[in-house]
Amino acid sequence: MSSATDTSGLRQRAVNGNGKSVAPSEEGKKTDQLLDSHTQYEFGGPWGVLAIMTGFPILMYYLWICLVFYDGQLVGPKSSDDVVPFLGRMWEHIRVDANPNWYAWKVYGGLIIYQLFLAWLVPGYMQEGLPVPSLGYKTLMYKCNALGCIYITWITAAVLHYTGIFRLTSIIDNFGHLMTVAMIVGFSVSFGMYFLTVATGNQIRMSGNFIYDVFMGACLNPRLGPIDLKMWLEVRIPWVLVFFMAVSGACKQYEELGYVTPNMAFMCLATWLYLNACIKGEECIPQTWDMFHEKWGFLVIFWNFAGVPFSYIYSVVYMSTHDPENYRFSTPTYVVLYTTLLTAYYVWDTSMSQKSRFKMYTQGITTYRKTFPQLPWGVVENPKYIQTAHGNKLLVDGWWAYSRKPNYVADWIMSLSWGLCQGLCSPIPYFYSVFFIAVLVHRVGRDFERCAIKYGKDWEKYCSIVPAKFIPGVF
Ligand code: NDP
C-alpha cells in the first residue's frame, strides 16, 4: 500500500499521461466491482423510495398553494371536521390553477425540444470523462456545448419577449400549470428509461425490486446520439428554468411597479451565477458524483425536471405576487446579502474547479478551458495529495486542505441566501436551504461510506489530515 503527500507522482503521470484510461490497481478493481453491485438499500429501501416518490409531489403542491393563495403562510385544517374540506380546497387549487393545460405543454415541451435540438447541433468543447469501471475503465467523451446553447437560448428568449410572441412574465403566471407538466415528464421519463434500459440489457447495480430500481435508475450513461442525457438534464432544464423564473419575476415587477426591487435583482444575479457556473465549467461536471456514480433514475430525473425548478425559487414566486413594502431592507442589509452571495459563490466555484482540474490533471489533461469568469485560485499549482492504494489520488490542498466538503458548505450558504432575500415574510422560500442541508448531509454519508470502502486505510489517513467534514473546527 502506498501513500504520499508529494506531487512527484502526479507530475510523472501528467507527463506520461496519454489522456486515456487510467486503470486502478488490482485491489482497486475489486473494490470498484463491489461498488458497482447492489449490496444494500438506501433511502429507506422500497418503502422509503415509494414515500419519497409520492410525498414530494404532494409537498411541492402544498408549498406552492400556501405561498400563492395563503399569503406565504403554512396552513392546515382548522379542526378535525375541517380535514376533508381542507383537502377539498387544496385539490381545487390543483385542479384549477395547476392543471396540465395545453399552454404549459407548449412552453415546457418547447424548452425540452429546443434544448435537445441545440445540444445536438451546436459545436462544443470535447471533454474526456473519468474511467468507468463498468465499461472496463473506458473513458467516455462529453460534448460540452452548454455555453453556446444557453447563450443562444438567452437571445431567443429576449427576441420572443420583445416581439411579444412569448412574454417571459407568463412563466411565473403559469407556475402551477408548468409544475404539473414538469412532474408528468419527470415520472414518464423515469419509468420509460427504466423499461428501455432493461429491455436493451444495459442495466447495472440492480436490486431486483421494481420500484427501488426505478427510483435509483437502471442505466449509468444514457446517451442520445452525441448527447449525454444525464449531463444534459443536470443543467439545460433545471437551472435554465430557475434563471428564467427569476427573470420572469423581474419582468413582472417592472411591468407592474415600473422598477425591479434589489431583492428580485439579487435572485436574478444568484440564479445567473449558478447557471453560468454550470455552463462555463461544464467540462468539470463529468467528475461529479451525479455523473460518475449516480444512475439515471427518478432521483435524478424527477428532481432535475421538476424538483429544482419548482421548489428552489419560492422567494421569486413570493416577491412577484406580494407588495415590495413587505420585504424592503436597509442599504447595509443589502450589502451584507450581496456580499454573502458573492463570497459563497467564490468558494463554491473555486473549490469545484480545484478538485475537477486536479482530477483532470491526474488523467493527463493539462490544458483547461478558459470561460468567463475564471476566478483566482481555481487551479492549485503543485497540489499536495494522498496517493491511495486504489490508484486514485486525493487532493489535500487548496480549499480541500480545510474541509472534506468545502463545495457543499458554500453551495448551502448560497441556498440560504435565496430564502434570506425576502426576509421573514414567508418560511416557504427557506424550503430550498432546509431541504438542501438534508440532501447534502445524506449525500455526504453515502459518499464517505463509498469512499471508505474504495480507499480503506488511505481514506482514514485522508480523514486524519482533513478532519473537518464541513467547517474547520465546527463540524
Ligand atoms: P463532490 O464534488 O464533493 O464529489 C465527491 C467525490 O469526489 C467523491 O466521491 C470522490 O470520488 C471525490 N473526492 C472527494 N474528495 C476528494 C479529494 N479531496 N480529492 C479528490 N477527489 C475527491 O460532490 P458532488 O459531486 O456530490 O457535488 C458537486 C456539486 O454539486 C457540489 O457543489 C454540490 O453542492 C452540488 N450539488 C447541488 C445540488 C443542488 O440541487 N443544488 C444537488 C447535488 C449536488 P472518487 O474518489 O471516487 O473520484
Q: How does pLDDT run across 418-466, given as a tens digit for each residue?
A: 999 999 999 999 999 999 999 999 999 999 999 999 999 999 999 999 9
Atom 20, ligand 1: residue with shortest CA distance: 394
Residue with cell 470523462: 129
Alpha carbon of 397 to ligand 1 centroid (Å): 16
Could you tell me which of 23, 168, 35, 30 has the C-alpha nearest to residue 447?
Answer: 35
Separation between Cα atoms, residue 321 and residue 20, nearest integer Å: 53
Report the pLDDT averaged over residues 182-186: 98
Report in angstroms the alpha-carbon separations of 67 from 166, 177, 178, 181, 274.
25, 15, 16, 19, 24
Atom 10, ligand 1: residue with shortest CA distance: 451
The CB density around residue 392, as the number of other CB atoms within 10 Å, is 21
Q: Please say if the pLDDT value at position 102 is more than 60.
A: yes
Atom 18, ligand 1: residue with shortest CA distance: 395
Instruction: Report which ligand 1 atom has the smallest distance to the Cα of 455.
Output: 46
pTM of the shown model: 0.93
The CB density around residue 136, as the number of other CB atoms within 10 Å, is 10
Alpha carbon of 401 to ligand 1 centroid (Å): 15
The 10s digit of each residue's pLDDT in 364-421 is: 888 888 898 999 999 999 999 999 999 999 999 999 999 999 999 999 999 999 999 9
Instruction: Report which ligand 1 atom has the smallest distance to the Cα of 392.
Output: 46
Separation between Cα atoms, residue 196 and residue 191, nearest integer Å: 9
End-to-end CA distance of the chain: 30
Atom 5, ligand 1: residue with shortest CA distance: 289
Separation between Cα atoms, residue 423 and residue 438, nearest integer Å: 22
Instruction: Report which ligand 1 atom has the smallest distance to the Cα of 411.
Output: 34
Q: Please say if the pLDDT value at position 17 is more than 50.
A: no
Report the pLDDT averaged over residues 354-358: 94
- Predicted local confidence at residue 274, as pLDDT: 98
Q: Which of the four pLDDT bands, split at 50, 70 and 90, describes residue 11?
A: very low
Alpha carbon of 380 to ligand 1 centroid (Å): 17
Exposure string (b/e) for 287-310, b if CB count within 10 Å is 16 or more?
Answer: bbebbbebbbbbbbbbbbbbbbbb
- Predicted local confidence at residue 367, as pLDDT: 83
Instruction: Report which ligand 1 atom has the smallest distance to the Cα of 447.
Output: 9
Query: Strand, coil or helix: what is 127?
Result: strand
Q: Please say if the pLDDT value at position 9 is more than 70.
A: no
- Predicted local confidence at residue 20, as pLDDT: 41
Rg (CA), the chain: 23
Domain segments of the chain as ranges: 1-24+331-430+441-475, 36-328
C-alpha 423 chain-centroid distance: 25
Instruction: Report which ligand 1 atom has the smallest distance to the Cα of 348.
Output: 32
Average pLDDT of the residues of the chain:
93
Residues within a 6 A CB radius of ligand 1: 288-290, 308, 348, 352, 355, 392, 394-395, 400, 405, 407-408, 411, 443, 447, 451, 454
Beta strands 393-395; 223-224: pairing state: unpaired
Provide the 8-state DSSP code for 41: -
Report the pLDDT averaged over residues 235-262: 98
H or E element at residue 393: strand 393-395
Q: Which of the four pLDDT bands, split at 50, 70 and 90, describes residue 22?
A: low
Alpha carbon of 289 to ligand 1 centroid (Å): 5
Instruction: Report which ligand 1 atom has the smallest distance to the Cα of 466.
Output: 18
Cell of 164: 411579444
- Predicted local confidence at residue 2, as pLDDT: 35
